Amino acid sequence: MDIAEKTLRLKQDFDDVFESGRKNWFDSYLSPKTATMGLFAGYGWNDSTFKPTCDIELTGYSPYTFYYCKVTDLVARLNECGVKMYCGTLSQLQNAFAYSAITTVPYLDLTNCNQYNNIFNNGTNIRTIEGIKVTSDKAFTSTFANCTSLVNLTIDGTIGQNGFDIHWSTKLTAKSIDSIVRALTTAKSGLTITLPVGAYNRHAERYGASVTEALWAEKRAYWSINELAV
């Protein structure tokens, strides 16, 4: 073995040890927990340091999960690492993405989450929430407050409580607006939702005035559908 081969071998050994240590640390860090509060909070977590080695289950009392985290495209990072992030039984996910650099949030099944309050609150860099699966018995209090960059959102399930407010997200696509309005319950009346200003017109431009009018009319018995300028 010449010196070049030895150097290469030494580097490989070093990398193997480093990767092994990293895997052990992550496996231990992500081992089953009863709560994941602040799991990846802080500046130290970025696209270089965030390399999970096993699936991430958000569980229990979990506010501030990615608070001030500097990871950018969370979906891409999870895909590159070959792992998934999913929600277990959650009591809280308040401010989970607040002041983080995260631009994309993976699909989150929130059906076992006790409340949806403030989940994306102050997630000012979030551009895409791949989807959220929700149930009609929980309110969306300040769930999307200050999500000023949000463009894409898919709602899977039913919005069934008063006060859903997403008016900060002025860049929402017509498709996202369509997903939100179609998710509004028709099982009970007396409810109010607040969309970004121009939402009705944006929907009409994309789907046609008659489709928009029919959709809004379908919900009118149950909802006041409002718009609010930032």
Distance of closest approach, residue 200 Cβ to another protein, in angstroms: 7
For residue 24, what are its two tokens? Answer: 């052990």
For residue 37, what are its two tokens? Answer: 């509060």
Q: How many helices (H) and strands (E) does the chain have?
A: 5, 9
Interface pick for another protein out of 75, 83, 197, 204 (rule CB under 8 A):
197
Pattern 160-179, binding to another protein, x per CB under 8 A? --xx-x--------------
Pattern 35-74, binding to another protein, x per CB under 8 A? ----------------------------------------
Nearest to 113 by CA among 85, 97, 129, 135: 135
Q: Of 156 and 227, which has the nearer Cβ to another protein?
A: 227
Instruction: Give the separation between CA 177 and CA 192, rounded to whole angstroms.
Output: 15
Does the footprint of another protein cover residue 145 (CB under 8 A)? yes
Nearest to 195 by CA among 161, 229, 154, 166: 166
Distance of closest approach, residue 21 Cβ to another protein, in angstroms: 39
Does the footprint of another protein cover residue 221 (CB under 8 A)? yes
Does the footprint of another protein cover residue 95 (CB under 8 A)? yes
Select the span of 48-56, 77-85, 103-111, 194-202 touching another protein (CB under 8 A): 194-202
Torsion of CA 177, 184, 147, 54, to 10 degrees: -100
Does the footprint of another protein cover residue 220 (CB under 8 A)? yes
Reading phi first (left if > 0) and then psi (alpha if -120 to 50, else beta), residue 38 is in: left
Does the footprint of another protein cover residue 187 (CB under 8 A)? no
Distance of closest approach, residue 151 Cβ to another protein, in angstroms: 21
Instruction: Give the separation between CA 58 and CA 101, rounded to whole angstroms.
Output: 19
Strands 128-134 and 164-165: unpaired
Does the footprint of another protein cover residue 11 (CB under 8 A)? no
Distance of closest approach, residue 221 Cβ to another protein, in angstroms: 5
Interface pick for another protein out of 112, 192, 209, 211 (rule CB under 8 A):
192
Instruction: Give the separation between CA 65 and CA 63, rounded to whole angstroms.
Output: 6
User: Which single residue is written with the structure tokens 């859903």?
Assistant: 164
- List of residues contacting another protein (CB under 8 A): 94-95, 118, 121, 142, 145, 162-163, 165, 189-192, 194, 197, 200, 216, 219-229
